[in-house]
Amino acid sequence: MLEGLYKIEFETPRRKAVGIIFAQDGKLHGGSSAFAFVGSYEQDGHKISGVVTARRHTDDPNHPSMFDLNEVKIGFRGVEKNSFASVEGTAAEAPSVDFKAFLTRLAD
């Protein structure tokens, strides 16, 4: 089951970043030094899918957006197994920019 607190390492062709995300009861909440993440997910066996909005909360040039935008809505699909998950997707606002993320469980 995907539920728990995860470290999330994500990337686009433009850059890489890290943050945390908490998954519970189909909801996602988390963030990084400059962005807040809020969304939802569904799970069918080991397959997961969902959508998450990343919204800038701090204007810091040391933490640029992975999409060069201050708010994006990312649709994703992937797999969860044991204490890990990997997903891929795109942002509605930047459909030509591929998104990948790897999640590592930190706590239940």
Which residues, including other chains, have CB under 8 Å from residue 8's CB and lie 6 or more apart? 18, 19, 20, 21, 30, 101, 102, 103
Tell me the one-letter amino acid at 11: E
Tens of pLDDT along 13-31? 999 999 999 999 999 999 9
Fold classification of 4-107 is Lipocalin (2.40.128)
The C-alpha atoms of residue 64 and residue 70 are separated, in whole angstroms, by 9
Token pair for residue 12? 């686009």
Which sequence spans correspond to the domains of the chain? 4-107
Tens of pLDDT along 72-99? 999 999 999 999 999 999 999 999 999 9
Task: Look up the pTM and report it.
Answer: 0.92
